[in-house]
Every structure is written in C-alpha cells, then in structure tokens.
Structure 1
C-alpha cells in the first residue's frame, strides 16, 4: 500500500475553531477551501481529530505522527500516514482547512496590498514556486526560511502548498536598546566575586556580541577580540559599550572594568535576527552570546523564536542572553494580551523563545523602572526571567548578566573539566536571584535581580542536580535541611524541544516539580495569573501546577529541619526522556555578611557617585548601627543609627568630600559587631601631559594626601603594565623608547595601599606642546595689550621674558623669574599705535631657551584709522582698521588721479577687508567719511 501524508487537526479536550470551515468566511477562505479540495484529489486531506484520555497521549507520542502546530491547550495539527486513520487510537474525524499555516487569520482580511511575509518551508526547492507570487529572498538556507513580498490575494494558494509550513510577519530590523554606558558592578555583587576570586576573570571562556561590530582597538578590549566573517561591516559605539560591560579590562578607568575582564570576545552581525550557524559557535568555543537589541512588540511564537530554541537544543552549553526591551509603558497589539496596558511588551519575536535568558532592568536598589519591558510572554510564560542593574536601558542589564554567565561557566569548567549546560547556568542565576516585592516571581522582574555571589556559592557548594526523567516516570531526590535554615529555594530548569511556529503554547515537555516536607506536606511551584487583564497580571504568585514554563521554582521562608523529597514528574513528556537541572540553596538564621565594600573596593565606587553600603542579613526586622573608622585612628565615627537590616543597603550621602585614606566600617547588631575589610576612600587622580617635545615627554599630576608613591602604567598587548614607580609628582620619559601612547597614574600609600588612578590618556591628543600650550594678545582700549600665556608645566623653567617688536629688533616688556603658575597674564601698557607683534621666550635651568611669537594685532588710541598694506597688489584685499565712531558707520571711498570714484565700501566693523581685485596699477586717493569727520590719504596699487 502506498503511504500518503494526511493533515489532522487534533483536539484532546477542547475544540479549536480556527481548524474548521465555518460559516461567514471570507472570499479568500473559500478560495482556500477550493485549493484544499484540489490537494485532496492528489491524496491529501485536512482533518480535525478529537482524542480523549490515555489514547490521546499515546497518539501524540507516536513517532510516526508529525506534530506541525499546537493550536490550543490540548489541540494540535498532525501529519500522519493515511492508513493510520482507521481509529487506531479511537479517534473521530471532521474535515478542516489549511489556515493553521498562517500566524494570524487576520492576514486574509487585510487590504489587498503588497506585504512582506516570512515563510518557513520543508524544502529549499520551494523557491521557484514562491517566485510566482512576488519578490523572494532567502533569509537562512539551512533553516529554509524566506521573505516573500506579495499581494494578500495570493495567500490561499500559497498556504495550500504542502511544503509551506508557516507564514507570518516578523520584524527583521533590529535596533539597539540603550546608548549610554552605565557600569556599576556593586548592585549585583559582581564586585564581591572580583574581590574573593581575583583569578576568576573569564579567561577560559569566549563570549559573542551579536549586533554591529565593536571597536577591537578600544583600550579596554584590545588584544582579546576576534572579528570574523560573521561580523558586521558597521562599527557601533553601542556594541563597544556592551563589550566593555561584559568584559572590559579596566584599562581606561575603574568604570571600564567589566564583569569578565579577561574573556575572549567575538562579534557577529544581527541583520536577520537569527542565531548563527552551529559551526560559528562550536569552532570558536562560544558559550554565551549577548543580544542587547530588539525589534517590535511581537506576541507570538514565530520563526525567530523557534530558531533560538532549536539552536539551544543543538548547542546545550551555549546560553543566549537577551535584553527585555525599553518599551515598558507600551501595549501589545496582537495576541492574547493585545490592549493590556503596560504588560507583555517584550521587544521581539525571538524573545518568545524558551531556552534563552531574558533580562530586564532595575535601579541600584532593585526598584522597578518604567522603561524596562515586561512580561508575560505571548502564552503567559514568565518574562523576563531575571533583572539586573541599569538606569539607562535593558541593553546594559543584559550585558552585565552575560559577563556573569561567563564567570559561572569558567568556574564550573575549572572544577569539573567540562562545560555546564545552559539550563544549569540559568538555574544558578535564577535560584541565586534576590526576590523583589511579593514572594515569588512576577511579570515585571521575573524571579528577581541576579546576585552573582549567591549563584557562585551554590555552584561552589555543589548544590545542584543534573539528571533526566523518562515518560510517565518520576525522578526522586532527597534533600536534608539543617536547623536554623531559612529561605529555602529550589529551581528546576530544562532545555525544552523547540515549539512549532505559531504554537498557542510553546511548552513541549511538561515536567512537574513538587517538594514533600518531613511531615508529608506537599509544596508546588509558584505560578502567576496569566489572564489578559492588568490587575490579574499584577497579582502575587500562588502555589500550583505549572504547565507553561520550562522553569519552575519552590521556596519556603521557614522550612523545618529534616529530610525533604524532591520529585520531578515526567508524565507530561512527549519525547522519551528529558534532561533537567535543579539548583537549591538556603540561608542560615541570624547571620550578617557584607557585600560592599570589600577589601578591593573604593568609596565612592567611581570617585564621584554617592555609593551604597550593601549587606545580606537574616536578622529579620532588627535594626543596626553603622559606623566607620579611618585606619590609624582609634575612634569610630557615626554614619547612621537604627538602620533597617532587611533593606540590605544604605546610601552614604554624608561622606566628607575631602576624606581620603584607608577605612573600615562596622554594623552593630545587639551586642555583636560585623566589620568590613579595609577599603579605600579616594577620588580620581587628575593627571596631564607637562610637555611633549618629540624626543622627550613629561607626565605630571597633583600631590594626593597620604600618597608617598605613584605607579605609572602603560598599555600592553591587552592590559596595563607597570612602567615605573616614582615618589615625585612627575615623570620624564624618552619619547624614542615609548611602546604605547597610553598612560595611567595610581597613588600608593606608605603601607602599599592603592587609591583610585587617573583616567588612562593618550598623551598625543592632550593638546600639550613643548612647554608652550598657547600665547595670544588681548587688546583692552585705554589700557594696552594683555599677553596671555599658558604653559603645560613650569618644570625646569628659570625665567619667562615678554618682548615687543620694534623694526627688526625686540624690546623687553616684562619678565617673570621662577614661575609657579602655568597661566600667566601680563600687560603691555605702551603698545605701538597700529600693528603690534609680541614674543615670549622661556629660559630653562639647563641653559636652553624656547620662543614663540603671538599673532599680530593692532592697537589704536591716538590714530583714528589704520590702512595696510600700502603699497598692495591688485589681486588682494586692503585692510582698514578704525576706532569706534559716535556717528553712523564710516564709509571708505577710493578715487583715481582724475578724481573719479572707483570704489565705495561701508565699514561695518572696526576691522574690514576691502577687495581691490582687478583695480589697475597706479596712484590712488582714499577718503574715509564718518559723520562730520573725514580722513584722507594716498594708496599705491601694484
């Protein structure tokens, strides 16, 4: 018997209206019905099949049946072999149409105009067929994806083609979602990782930035970047900023030090909003890719979402980190949440994927930001999964998380010798996150703000389980919880098979998590209300069975001590088995731990911004007293009393501006004190170029309190390298021996403690010359001419002499011996009437000298007018300078020897250039009339 494919619309428990041929359909739908009947003559038919009970589940698991689309909670489109129609599973049949191939049936009712659709096919050979209907372009050959610009009237004929699997409208024009670098690693406790694990820096991982190309010559990225044939031809400042947040080396300043400062960085373009090929990731060893961009709000599971989920399945150790978007106040226009204000506004269809990590933004203390896009996903799933700090956009928040991912991956690889799955990394980040607001997840901040320190502690403690479960089986684990444990949290994550484009619900394998306490009480995961209503979506989480997410979490604030049973139920699997990751952790009652500052931190963290103290406390509602002490002093200074410990932070706004040195802080709780490590209090050092004389260079900086040495560093291949240690406030360098143009200076105390350095600067673009930065004249009528001199440094200058030109010689105007200031202003009280030229000469202690002449200026107090040059060429301009007149603007007249007027020019300013171009050579007479006054003279034109 010949096997002929058949389409089925399969309903397990409910009826799907879109699968029917119903009354009131449009003309195009009738055309579609006609094309369907034609296909039936070729052996094809479209059926709706109703299944019930275990028979329905067995039917779905039958590998000879191909699921093409899930159209409801229990409804599917199925492709099966025709001989299976004979009620093998106790099914009943009704005919249906091919409208399941359209993402939205509204496409058929749109005006008959040219529209660009994205099409998925089962074969690349469909290209000639599609070319019959309009302009076709191949988006991705391996994924068999096309764009087709066609008239809507052609849709019925297009979807009847057996090889067409899905037709949608998806934005392929990504835009970046913030433009301002905003780097502060303290809110998410990355600073604590850097302090206690200084060797953990991402050196063992490779991270990709998908957008336009970042600048590989940026001093924070140099030496660790890989630009490939997948990179965009366009370079972007936004991409450079994202790469800096992810993995900046801190060569420029403390705010240029990213989360993973030694990670290898790759770049790939984002012109079609799809992941790259498997080979791109595997060949380069890329384990995390950052996507800080978005498209439009697209509330459905489309071709892009499927591609990202499929990529995660094929590359289980690769995690895609995506920004949620900056459209938090906007409203979706299609799908279940259309018209629900302020929710479900994630920017991009590709962000509807399940196996990626979506990141939103919060402020420095976890407050929700209006601009940050919110969930749920189109089918009610929790989005974003986590949030992190950024005041300027979710782009920065995603980059910060991407860097944290690379540190977790590096630590796991170092400990176990192989790469962790993306599901484990997600579970670590989600389980370690700080919950904001009501207990449990929400549609705004997901499972909370990432806490890099807590996530790393779970990894280091081995508090995770990697396992799998088979169909209709239960994987069981025991978990012992000790006395005084609080805040137990357990997170289950799995890499779910990709859904089908257009699926009403994206989940394929439905695992169920449950926790049984020592007394037999059962706890289920937190679930959220998914009704399309802003009030319902704002409700706090409740416990229940989760049939939407491939992330499930159970938490208990006060668990009793004893052995717990953790069950992962595989009853909802459609594949034979499913691997998963579980991460668990808890806190201990009545503990206090500092997060900021650590021993490697500075107050303020960037030398400028008011900074928060941060801590973790399990003392409940108790209060504490915060104090600080400068090293070398015995007294403790009060900062704040009666601090609410549950807040976990306090802003030190009273930090004295002139305070510099090493300090420690302590929190007093009842009779106990908890001290920080010794940290620094300092501001950024202001360094500059003293002089740049080609063969020699001087760097200089002001003396800083308590500093006895200064470390001068220069840029190496990828990081700053120590060049010299000096006790003075300057350094002379031989220009011929320099290996880099970039320098940084850092103060050091007598005990070896370091303070904030200067910005790293390129000495060639600082505007510093060979001692003389600028020299110019300033005319002040009735006073004279001021001579303004700016030096780059006074180092080695013995004397400065100012002179005025008289004919071929110069006469002294004034001098300054052993100058102390680099800005000098000296008056020439008796300048010449008319033109004045001045010169300044620096005399050095080594006997050498350096001179510079200021541009010519004129000075008129006795003479009312000045005309030059005379004689002049008939191809040039005559300069006419005049004093201010009380009457109307003076007028310049030029007459020939016969008295004929040759030229008339109104002098609108005190300095005018009168064109003499083309006037014949000879002797002329001029007259300047100003009211009742007139001034005459001769002019020779050559």
Structure 2
C-alpha cells in the first residue's frame, strides 16, 4: 500500500516544511488521523496553527473558493456542522476518519476553523482523484477507443458544466456524453494525460466507464407471501400495488400482453427483446391470460425504459421527478465487485433526494467468479457498483423451496458490508413474453422484480392507511429485511442477506404500525420504549437509516454510524448481529455473532422467547459527520411457532396439479407433518412428514371436488391450519366462441360434472371481469364493438355445495362478426345500411357497416314505383361489396329497398 505524506511548500520554506511534514507523517502513520483511501494511506499533518491559505496550490482554487481535505480532531457536533453551513463553508463529502472534502471561500478565517476543532488542511492529491483501475493499465477493451481511453469525470457541483466542457476542449479532450442536470461527463482522453486531468481544479473524480451491461437472467407468489397481500377474495387483503408506479429499466418495450392491460406505458422504441417482458410479468403481471401466472403487484402502473447503467438517463430522472414512478427494477450487471463508484454514489444520492424512490437490483449470477475480494470464487462477487449502494436493495436468487442457487452472487460488498440485502425466488419462474405468450425465466433477474413487486404492494398498503401519503423507501426496506424468513446461517449472512422476503409479515408490521422514526446527531442518544406482550415466541428490533452518499471509492462507505442497544425488562442488554468480513472462506461463512457494528446502515437485535414487558431501544450517534440523521425502528413480534401461509382460504385449486404449500416457523425441534381435509376438518389425511428445516412442499392436489378443503401443518405440540376453506374443483374445457353479432356474442364450453352454474369473464379496462352467469354451458353477452378483439374465460361453481373452480386460461377472438343468426332489429337494420356517393351519376355503393345478414334482397325503384333493378345476396356483412350502376338512369329521385328475413328498410337515392 502506498503512503502519502503532505507538506505545504512555498518558494521560501520548502526544505524546512518538508522536513517537518515528514516527521509529522512518521508520528501519525499508525494514528487514527491517517486516512485510508483506495490503495493509499494518507497522513494529514496537524498544521492548523501554522496554516495559511497561500500555502494551497493554484490547482486547489477556483472561483474564489478553495477545495481540499479538512480534518477535525473529532467528528464535529451538529452545532459546528450547522455553523459551517450557515457560514458558506461547504463540507462536500465525508472521507472516513474525521475528514471531509471541502469548498471554502478564500476569506475563511483560519482562527474560526481552529476554534471549531479543525486539525489540518491539505490540497486533494491528484492521485486520489483517479480510480485504482485507471492507475493500473492495461485497460479492458470496452474502455479503449484507438489511442484514447473512455472515462467518467465528475466535476464539482458548484462549477458550471459548460465551463468544464469548454476548458476540456482547450486541452483537446472530447466529451462523449453529457447528462442533463448532472456533474458527470463521459470523456475520450489520450492515455498519457491522466495526471494533468486529475490536477485540474474543477475535477473531483475520474474512473473508467462502466463495463457493458449484462442481463442477469438464467413460483414466487407463495414463497414471497405476496399471495397473502393479494388474496383475490372479498374477505382478504387485496393489495395489488394500485396507484403505485414501477419502472422496468431493461431491454426495450414490454408486451403487447393483456396481463398489463390499461397499466403499461412504453417509453422506448426498442422491440423484439424478451428480458424486460420477463421482469415486468414477475413484478406486475395481472394473470389475465393465465390466472396461475399472476405477478406480485398486479395492479401497479408499469413504465418501461431502456436500461442505462449510470441512472442519469432523462426518462428515469423525469419519471422520478414527476412522481409517476416510486420503484425501479434493474436486473443488469456492470462489472463485478466494482466498489463504490460514481453510479453507486448516484443511486444512493437519488434515494436521499427522492425519499419515496426505491431502487431494486439483482445481485448477479456470478458466484464462481473471483472478483478480487480476496476469498476466492465463492465470495465478494456482487455484480456492478450500483448494487453496492447502501440505500438500495440487491436481491439473491433461490428456487421455489427457498434454497439458494449456486450461481447467485454472494457478498460481502467491497468494504465488507452485508450484501445481498434479501433473497427471493428467481429460478424457473413462468412470466410474460411479448405477443401474449409466456416464457420460463430465471436468475437474479427474476428474483429482483419479486422484491420490487412486493414493495409496490407495501407502498399501496401504507398509502391507503396514511391518507394517500407515500411511504419513505427506507421504511419499506427496513420492513422487508426485519420480517424476512431467516435462511442459511442464523441471522444475516453473505448469501441470503437478511433472509427470504415475507410480504405478508411485512404487511402486518405496517398495518399494526410497529415502526417509529426519529433523528440523532453526533454524540446524541435517543431512547425509545417498546412493549413486548406475553406469549411472544420471537422479537426482532431493527434500526435502519438512509445513509448519505459516500465519496467515490470510499472504504468503508458508511458515512453516518448509529449504534443500537436493546435492554430487556430485566436490565440485560443486547447488541446487534455482527458478521466477520475477513476475506477468507472460513470467516465469511461463520454465523453472525453480536457486537457493535461500524460498517452497515442497518442493525438488528433478535431475542428468542423474550420476557414480556417494556424494552428500551437506545439509538446513539456514534459518528454522525453529516447530521442530523433520520432513522427508522421497526419491530417484529412473532407469537406463533408455526403459521400456515398457503393455501390459507378461498384459493381455487385444480385436481391433479402441483401446488406449493408454504408455512412460517420459529423454534421448532420436531419433524413437520402435513395433512389435508376435504370436509372442513372433520377428518384429516396425511400428506407427508419431513425435517423441521423445510418451509415448503409440492402437493399433488387430490381429485376431491368441493369447497371445504383445508391444509394443516404440525410439529410437536405446535400446529396451524388454513384460516378458511379453499376450493378443489376442475375448470371447464372446450371454451369457444360460436357467434359474434353487432351487439352480442355467444360462447360455449364443455359442462363440468356437478356444476350448477358458470361465471363468464371478458377482459375489461385492466382485468378479467365477470360479465354474466349461466346455468347451462352456453352464454350470450352484450358487446359494444363487434370488430374489437374479445378475450374471454369461464369458471364453474356449485352454490349448493359451496365450491368454485379456477377460471380457465383466456381465449381470444381477434374481432369481426361471424355465425350471427340473431333476428334483425328493424332500427338496427336501417341504421347499419348506407349509400355512397349520394347523389350519384355513375355507380352507387351499398355498405352494411357493422351487421351481418344471412340473405339480402336489394331493389331499385323509381318515383313511379316501378322496379328497375333487383338482386339477391347470401351472407352479407361489412366485407361484401354491393354496387348498382345508375349511369343510364335519368336524373331524379329513386328509392332502394332492402329486405332480409322479412325485415325491410328503404333509402333515398338522388341521381344527377
């Protein structure tokens, strides 16, 4: 590791000051004032008592302000932070260990700085403005263009971008891309001018452009407990994400597909790709075509744009700024274990600038790759810098049973923080594809939209409970993590993060308002009291905060460091979970212990079999250099050791299919036994018995038609069963359309044994809607436009026995009349016929417009009642061409009569 010692040289005192600086650097080399940045160890001298602004080089001055690093003896308290801000002294970014990047007016009083705890000031070394990758050629081909390299430059926000572009042009440096309202530019530069570029006063940071984007692709509702938030029953929860905007940042247009009917806005012209379709279906598919393929947030508003790795594309920014979008999903990789890049800084900043915006990412499918963390191929391979953000969510991939897939990227983050954040099912998902088809879709690409969709459900829940207000994204992320089903090692780990998402538990936490928020400043302490009722099996307390963006390449990336201590009614104190991030395979795979965490912006205390009473939750500002810091406390109180979550009442199961039974568990020691009943619990039949580590089972649904089915799960003295009966029944087959007429259409299907009636569905504005009920296997329903496509479906039911089937996969009639044998209404007949041109001097054409008739007689009569022409036609509709030559007739008024099955009408014709 390089060590840099700073001295301030001027033309008169170069030798003496250099000697002093070297002595100071040696004394402080191992002190708490040494700053570790990238691969360099920087010793900042204690020079405030002798410092003068004239010691700063010209490259540190711009527009009457100085830029550099300022170090304090101690992290400044909030009063000092506020004083600096009110005095125009900008602390731009926190560099770990009491040091900030600053921008001060040239008139700033040194005495004022000294009196407020400043220890030393140095110019920013040019070398720390360059990423490690830039300083270590050769470069990857994606960043090379001839003799130039393509880099990302970040300039100070106080400097006008056009000024920077002009100054770069004078140095023959070309701008490849400029981003609106951003201080980031992409440049093409000669590979020998990096040192000159980094020394420019307006340059804050330079790194290689991000690697090319790679899609992270390789039966989630039940595993995610999203079905518990969207039961599709009148008595259950019905949170579909309605009113919430989600953004698919992917490979182009989504659809066309009726699963997004009335909810999809494509803001890209790229077509013919399927990755974004798969993402969108898992996140927000309505299951209109196939009810078994319903996604998480089936009612959310969906926007689709092209993926842009830097998150500075105008469409994404505009949708966040307008409030149309609250949740984004990006299932793409950009490199591996990339560190805290400009993109990471951007997404963390956006989530602070837009507190209700939540960025969700795939963790990547790169397990097996050695990405430089130091522990080989099984650790530290989270893909892309954006996923390393502190405030975002990175998602691991499991199969339907909750087992981690081998390919799912693992943490830690580059600085040892917990990544991924959470896990979800992404393996072998069935999701939407374009042109009303489905595809098998998988990888962390499919896991991330599961989290994004559940988040949209939670946003709706919170909004409806809070007069339409949107939730802070930090609260939703904390809720998801604290209620997740523990998986892998006990507590958090670097494979599953905080566990497998449990949307139902998360929803209940928000419904019960088991959360609070406050803020804390440097050195401050807050105490909160939370009551834990008797009978609680497990309690979880979590503190989470949306941390300010760190300096690019900061290590660690944590800026504000809060501490959590929980004290029970018996005065026993508990410290949060703590993981060992030492870069070797043994330490990284160890279960979490407990201790003070100074790395993550989330801390959790979990207590099994807690005593009833008041618990003290202490939150202290251990190191809050950018304060005050808002935080959220969420707490999960689990009162049952065993809870069945699916099927839980009202579901429609089809005999002979496989259904995933799911349950939640804590503190089990005995094997688990599954049973089912078809008579509302009168008798039970065993399904299977297995170890208590299992949380799901694939059940072959029996051929027992009825509406009184239950499932029960038992372990020792603990058991739980479905809250209400569910249905087992066959759905109809042979569904077809037999007639389409101007105002109505007729459909038939094969009868289902035992069915008393059938509900018939047609696609409405957004969803399949019941438009009629029939006691036979045929129905005629009204329509408004016979030329429009019709998507239709049917379900069987028996009110006497109390059962109903799932509706069938939707069928499509592309539009147009056929087979219409309905009697013709005289007014409809008259209104449907038109003549053109009228007047005419050559040929008159006859249009049938929107009706179809099996026979038609057409007669041309003059004003004396004489028939001049008569023709007969069969099966006449809007596709037939009927015309009469009137070129030989004298000018005057004529009449054309029409007769079909005894219904007549007459039209006037003027011949010129």
CA distance in 1: counterparts of 2:772 and 2:77, whole angstroms: 77
Q: Is contact 1:274-1:307 (8 Å) kept? A: yes
Bigger CA radius of gyration: 1
1:254 aligns with 2:286: no
SS of the residue aligned with 2:756? strand
Summarize deviations over 1:338-361 as a string: whole Å, max 9, x none. 563122222211112111111111
CA spacing shift, 1:613–1:493, aligned 2, 3 Å: same
1:725 aligns with 2:761: no
Match of 1:800 in 2: none
Match of 1:365 in 2: 401
Match of 2:128 in 1: 100
1:745 aligns with 2:794: yes
Between 339-348 and 148-157, report the one with greater CA deviation: 339-348
1:128 aligns with 2:162: no
1:428 aligns with 2:479: yes
Larger relative contact order (C-alpha < 8 A, sep ≥ 6)? 2
Shift of 1:279: 4.5
SS of the residue aligned with 2:504? helix
Shift of 1:612: 2.9
Shift of 1:668: 5.4
CA distance in 1: counterparts of 2:718 and 2:793, whole angstroms: 42
1:377 aligns with 2:404: no
CA distance in 1: counterparts of 2:286 and 2:164, whole angstroms: 49
Q: Is contact 2:211-2:335 (8 Å) kept? A: no
Shift of 1:399: 1.1
CA spacing shift, 1:465–1:365, aligned 2, 3 Å: same
Q: Is contact 2:772-2:781 (8 Å) kept? A: no
Shift of 1:485: 1.9
Match of 1:341 in 2: 377
Please show how residues 28-47 of structure 1 align to structure 2 within 5 Å: 39=59
Unaligned regions of 5+ residues in structure 1, if any?
23-35, 772-847, 850-942
Q: 1:464 aligns with which of 497, 500, 515?
A: 515
Match of 2:668 in 1: 620
Between 136-145 and 194-203, report the one with greater CA deviation: 194-203
CA distance in 2: counterparts of 1:554 and 1:388, whole angstroms: 23
Q: Is contact 2:648-2:721 (8 Å) kept? A: no
Shift of 1:38: 7.1
CA distance in 1: counterparts of 2:779 and 2:500, whole angstroms: 46
CA distance in 1: counterparts of 2:763 and 2:771, whole angstroms: 9
CA distance in 1: counterparts of 2:661 and 2:136, whole angstroms: 59
CA spacing shift, 1:401–1:55, aligned 2, 3 Å: closer
Match of 1:532 in 2: 583
1:174 aligns with 2:213: yes
CA distance in 2: counterparts of 1:647 and 1:475, whole angstroms: 40
CA spacing shift, 1:387–1:296, aligned 2, 3 Å: same
Q: Is contact 1:621-1:646 (8 Å) kept? A: no
SS of the residue aligned with 2:258? coil
CA distance in 1: counterparts of 2:473 and 2:741, whole angstroms: 54
CA distance in 1: counterparts of 2:325 and 2:809, whole angstroms: 32
Q: 2:182 aligns with which of 137, 143, 146?
A: 143
Shift of 1:85: 5.9
Match of 2:33 in 1: 13
CA distance in 2: counterparts of 1:296 and 1:764, whole angstroms: 46
TM-score norm. by structure 1 comes to: 0.71
Q: Is contact 1:612-1:649 (8 Å) kept? A: yes
Q: Is contact 2:35-2:41 (8 Å) kept? A: no
CA distance in 2: counterparts of 1:733 and 1:60, whole angstroms: 70
Shift of 1:617: 4.1
Match of 2:599 in 1: 548
Between 592-601 and 107-116, report the one with greater CA deviation: 107-116
Shift of 1:507: 1.3
Shift of 1:746: 1.6
SS of the residue aligned with 1:707? coil
Q: Is contact 1:252-1:759 (8 Å) kept? A: yes
CA spacing shift, 1:44–1:436, aligned 2, 3 Å: same
Shift of 1:711: 2.3
Cα RMSD for the two superposed structures: 3.8
Shift of 1:444: 0.8
SS of the residue aligned with 1:504? coil
Shift of 1:698: 6.3
Summarize deviations over 1:719-776 as a string: whole Å, max 9, x none. 112233334445567997475321112222344532122211223499x9989xxxxx
Q: Is contact 2:728-2:805 (8 Å) kept? A: yes
CA distance in 1: counterparts of 2:765 and 2:57, whole angstroms: 69
Between 695-704 and 450-459, report the one with greater CA deviation: 695-704
CA spacing shift, 1:44–1:593, aligned 2, 3 Å: closer
Count of equivalent residues:
740
Please show how residues 572-611 of structure 1 align to structure 2 within 5 Å: 572-588=623-639, 591-603=641-653, 610-611=658-659
Unaligned regions of 5+ residues in structure 2, if any?
1-7, 11-20, 44-55, 428-441, 821-873, 876-912
CA spacing shift, 1:242–1:109, aligned 2, 3 Å: closer
CA distance in 2: counterparts of 1:70 and 1:577, whole angstroms: 14
SS of the residue aligned with 1:412? helix
Q: 2:615 aligns with which of 544, 564, 588?
A: 564
Q: 2:386 aligns with which of 350, 354, 370?
A: 350
1:666 aligns with 2:712: yes
CA distance in 1: counterparts of 2:249 and 2:76, whole angstroms: 45
